[in-house]
Chains A and B, each alone.
Chain A
Amino acid sequence: MNQTYGIAGVSAVVLATVLVGALGLRVSRTTSDFYVASRSVPPRLNACAVSGEYLSAASFLGVAGLVLAQGADMLWFPIGYTAGFLVLLVFVAAPLRRSGAYTLPDFAEARLESRAVRRIAGVLVVGIGWLYLLPQLRGAGLTLRLLTGAPGWFGGLVVAAVVTVAVAAGGMRSITFVQAFQYWLKLTALLVPAVFLLLAWRADRAPTPVWDERPVFQRATQVRLDHPLTLTLDEPVRVTAASGTVDGRPRDGGPLTLGPGTHRVGAGTTLRFPPGTPVPLPDDEGGRAAPSSWARPLSAGREQHGLYATYGLILATFLGTMGLPHVVVRFYTNPDGRAARRTTVVVLGLLGAFYLLIPLYGVLGRLYAPDLLLTGDTDAAVLVLPERLVGGTGGHLLGALVAGGACAAFLSTVSGLTLSVAGVLAQDVLPALGIRHFRLATLPAIAVPTAAGAVVSDLPVADAVGLAFAVSASSFCPLLVLGIWWRGLTPPGAVAGLLLGGGSALAAVTVTIAGGARSGWLHTLLAWPAVWSVPVGFAAMVLVSLATRTRIPANAAATMARLHLPETLTGRTAPAGSPPGGRP
């Protein structure tokens, strides 16, 4: 990838973000445009902002990488990421806005009138935020490594530093405009190259995508392996030039044929494959990968229990979206519940448009960048494709555009998440800091995932995001759905559900990230916890609430009415002498 263009692309995005952030505020100099300056954010703009903040590095880079590596099964990721908003729209959006809550702990307190529930929700929000930040910083590292050759941890550190400085300096003033801008930037960065990629694909006489067992190198391809790996071949593979170490013997650039059997390739080896060679696939740690069914769902290799894993993914993404801290705070910007609902509808459309493009990159990546399967850098598919297919200055420019889009993806999500995690940290978890030290809380908010990212390095971006979704689905989904739709929820019930559902999912996720169980049912259960942890969360909340019926909050009925009735109605019927709330 051309460094100059790539760096220019990323710099342009950062610069544009800062400019929009600084100049986007509506300033009026006269009283006559007062009305314009004090107009609330229309649903469409807010929807762009929600989408901009939501589409992370996992969406921009990770999903295409997973589709490239593992095939049609992985399309559940974009479907789930989008459908999560459908669930949010139907069950949560409007009542959540009417509750007046800014963060999820706010909602817990508004509905259950309990400080304890609030505190536990705060801890969970921070946990989910950190889990979600982890893959974002990793995506940043990956992008910057491809652009500049810097080591992977460096990119994460740079982004962490940029966001910390921006937040601490009081930047991101007009966050709604910045995030809305980022959405359109990301869409453009995928759409424009996609058009050129399709043209190039047609010019290449439109080779059919490889649906069957293994992809083939379309062109002569040189692959550099940074890590040693083991290849198991069923048929001989011809290599036109190999330098480095193969099977323990040094090679100096001559041709070589790898016979059937197992081969060990040393780190730093460069292999050059002629066109038409089937791509040799590296062995997984847990045994031979079985990529024989790329296009057929539920048969793919990585997970031994495909159906279970798919349901785990569906549950986590469908139900987890409503518990993402940076998504929830954006709904506060809506003036009322109706606007919140309209925002969600538009978000569904915007996300749908974006995710339509992603599988295209996956399929083209399988055609034109199958060497990524060999090196394991499948997350880089979106970044390398434009230069592979288009070439020349045009390819460089498109590459820069994609790099800029990726940069926008992790910048917007990281800044949004950092802000919401820092807010909850300052308010609920570290109240000793004092409410004025919101900016101080930014440091732990981003330092922890940065440090964790340096330790944990081999988790695919989209997978790590899936884990954050699983925790959110098993803690906040029960809290929100039951809190909004069941008046019998009690504070002890909520505490039990949050701790059992969210806690068990969090524990499973921690073990997975730390590399606890590598294979077998135990691994599958821990890597896709939503299937069991969501029911555990719901059951705990319902059962404990039923057992503690006497503890139903005193104002539960009034709160429920406020959550479900349109604002104009509740506003008019509010008793004239209602006390300034909570203070007897």
Chain B
Amino acid sequence: MSVLGAVVLALAGLALFALGAVLGHAGARRQQENPAGPGTPVERATFHTLHTASLAAPPLRAGLTPDTARKAARRLRPLLGTVALALTDEESVLAWDGVGDHHRAEAEARLAHAVRTGRPQTFTLSCANDTCPVRWGVVAPLGADGRAAGALAAFADQESAGVVRAAEEVARWVSVQLELAELDRARSSVIEAEVRALRAQISPHFVYNSLAVIASFVRTDPERARELLLEFADFTRYSFRRGGDFTTLAEELRSIEQYLELARARFGRRLEVTLRIAPEVLPVTLPFLCLQPLVENALRHGLEEAVDRGRITIVAEDEGTEARVVIEDNGVGMDPQRLREILRGAGGPSAGIGLSNVDMRLRQVYGDGHGLVIETGVGAGTKITVRVPKFRPGIRPAT
């Protein structure tokens, strides 16, 4: 029975620990929300207001939806000090914080006018319930980029010029946040467009070289020429395809195979390729055409600029929750300083736009911890490591 006692003690200890953690967390949070820090009462009030506003900002930066409106309204109502506050879009109430929820419809009826005129509008409300403190309200329109986005409605038990003024100011502040949200959206769509523009960038040299080498086989070895042409067709179909920003490692390797087949037609025995692929990581999803440019880079530095044999090694390994792909060549390497410039996008138009493009896309999708890791030196070959998480929410291949 002493064992049972020990278990009960341990469980009680755990429960106590959890309770302490919860209380501490809540306390810290309250402390944060009501900072009783140094300064005069006016300064403290200012800090408090700024802090409350900063808490309301993150949800609004994601745009105006029922979910974000609910979170923001909870933070905004203390700023105004009213009994109720509502955030609406152009037609309906998205979130109602505080009492008097049954006035929703009445508030919605007043929306259209305020949104159309772009001016705040006050109104009184009648209520059958004597104890209901919602007797009067003000609707202040919200706008982003000069367009109406919705309105902020504040409610009190009596008419108050202060509340009108405060509602107007808060509505202006919310409008700024919504404009920033709009800006965020615009920025991410620009980056997306950039990624899409960059991704289909197979080198024009490659197209030219491939066609030239196929042409050279047409008379001497028509069968080989036909095979190469089919490889070329497959490769371009994969590279130029539309839709889907992601692919699987297996698909990407297949396109690299076609690429290398064409390169081998050009370089013959000078090119030696070694593959070591763990089959477990083949289904891993990764950005479309993110390995092929690295192989192209290895080929260029490993072979085109050197006279003797070029060796390229491609290794894909299982690393628990991630896959690690390493592409290595024994070529002329690169000056690390110059490489840094290329990755910063300042390397000039000629070289390595593939590398910086891949690096940027990987960081964009997986975060800064997942950029390219490049080990190189002049005359020392190049080793590029890519680490791809096996799962990221929302990322899936398009076949």
Contacts and interface: CB of A to CB of B under 8 A. Distances in A.
A39 interface: yes
B320 A34 contact: no
A268 interface: no
Nearest to B70: A550
Given A335-B250, A576-B244, 11 more contacts: A27-B275, A35-B257, A39-B282, A332-B283, A423-B321, A511-B4, A567-B399, A578-B244, A580-B394, A583-B394, A584-B185
B285 interface: yes
B321 A582 contact: no
A96 to B, nearest CB: 12
B7 A510 contact: yes
A335 B251 CA distance: 11
Interface stretch (B132-140, B142-150, B213-221, B385-393): B385-393
Interface in B7-53: 7, 11
Interface of A: 25-31, 34-35, 37-41, 100-103, 106, 109-110, 113, 170, 173-176, 332-335, 419, 422-423, 426-427, 435, 438, 507, 510-511, 514-517, 550, 554, 562, 567-568, 571-572, 574-584
Contact of A40 (B195, B279, B318, B390): B279
A583 B317 contact: no
A176 B280 contact: yes
B322 interface: yes
In which size bucket is the chain B interface? 35 or more
Contacts of A25: 276-278
A41 B280 CA distance: 7
Contacts of B318: 173, 175
A179 B53 CA distance: 56
A38 B253 contact: yes
Contact of B399 (A102, A333, A571, A584): A571
A181 to B, nearest CB: 14
Nearest to A550: B66
Interface in B268-304: 272-280, 282-283, 285, 287
Contacts of A38: 250, 253-254, 257, 275, 277, 282
A113 B188 CA distance: 20
Interface in B185-234: 185, 188, 192, 195
Contacts of B11: 507, 510
A239 to B, nearest CB: 35
B369 interface: yes
B264 interface: yes
Chain B interface, >50% SS class: mixed
Counting chain A CB atoms within 10 Å of each CB, the highest count among B185, B257, B392 belongs to B392
Contacts of A40: 250, 279, 282-283
A580 B280 contact: no
Nearest to A513: B7
Contacts of A26: 275-277, 279
Given A40-B282, A102-B391, A335-B282, A426 B396 contact: no
A25 to B, nearest CB: 5
Contacts of B188: 579, 583-584
B395 interface: yes
B192 A579 contact: yes
Given A113-B393, A332-B390, A515-B4, A102 B280 contact: no
7 contacts: A106-B391, A332-B390, A335-B250, A438-B319, A517-B4, A572-B399, A583-B188
B397 interface: yes
Contacts of B260: 31, 34
Contact of A31 (B66, B257, B392): B257
Interface of B: 3-4, 6-7, 11, 62, 66-67, 184-185, 188, 192, 195, 242-246, 248, 250, 253-254, 257, 260-261, 264, 272-280, 282-283, 285, 287, 317-322, 364-365, 369, 389-399
A46 B319 CA distance: 18
A28 B11 CA distance: 56
Contact of B279 (A101, A176, A562): A176
Contacts of A101: 391
A289 to B, nearest CB: 22
Given A31-B261, A584-B184, A427 B321 contact: yes
A422 B395 contact: no
Contacts of A584: 62, 184-185, 188
Given A576-B242, A583-B188, A37 B277 contact: yes
Given A435-B369, A574-B398, A582 B280 contact: no
A529 B276 CA distance: 47
B285 to A, nearest CB: 7
Contacts of B398: 571, 574
A113 B67 CA distance: 14
B391 A37 contact: no
Contacts of B184: 584
A446 to B, nearest CB: 14
A343 to B, nearest CB: 13
A38 B272 CA distance: 17
Nearest to B187: A584
B365 A583 contact: yes
Contacts of A29: 272-274
Contacts of B245: 578, 580
Nearest to B397: A571
Contacts of A581: 392-396
A41 B249 CA distance: 13
Contacts of B250: 38, 40, 335
Nearest to B181: A584
Given A37-B277, A562-B396, A333 B320 contact: no
Nearest to A115: B393
Contacts of B321: 102-103, 423, 426-427, 435, 438
B396 A100 contact: yes
Contacts of B395: 100, 580-582
B364 A574 contact: no
Contacts of B275: 26-28, 34, 37-38
Nearest to B318: A175
Contacts of A103: 321, 391
A166 to B, nearest CB: 13
A34 B257 contact: yes
Given A35-B257, A579-B192, A582-B395, A333 B273 contact: no
Nearest to B188: A584
Contacts of A576: 242-244
A215 to B, nearest CB: 32
Contacts of A102: 321, 390-391
A30 B317 contact: no
Nearest to B319: A438
The 6 lowest CB-CB distance pairs between A and B, nearest first, are A581-B394, A582-B394, A571-B399, A102-B390, A576-B243, A38-B253
A109 B309 CA distance: 48
Given A423-B321, A584-B188, A175 B280 contact: yes
A486 B192 CA distance: 33
Contact of B280 (A39, A106, A333, A578): A333
Contacts of B264: 31
Contact of A515 (B3, B185, B283): B3
A213 B28 CA distance: 66
Contacts of A110: 391, 393
A482 to B, nearest CB: 19
B273 A41 contact: no
A574 B244 CA distance: 7
A172 B134 CA distance: 68
Contacts of A34: 253, 257, 260, 273, 275
Given A515-B4, A517-B4, A422 B320 contact: yes
A511 B279 CA distance: 42
B62 to A, nearest CB: 7
A41 B279 contact: yes
Counting chain A CB atoms within 10 Å of each CB, the highest count among B248, B250, B398 belongs to B398
Contacts of A575: 243
B47 to A, nearest CB: 30
Nearest to A26: B277
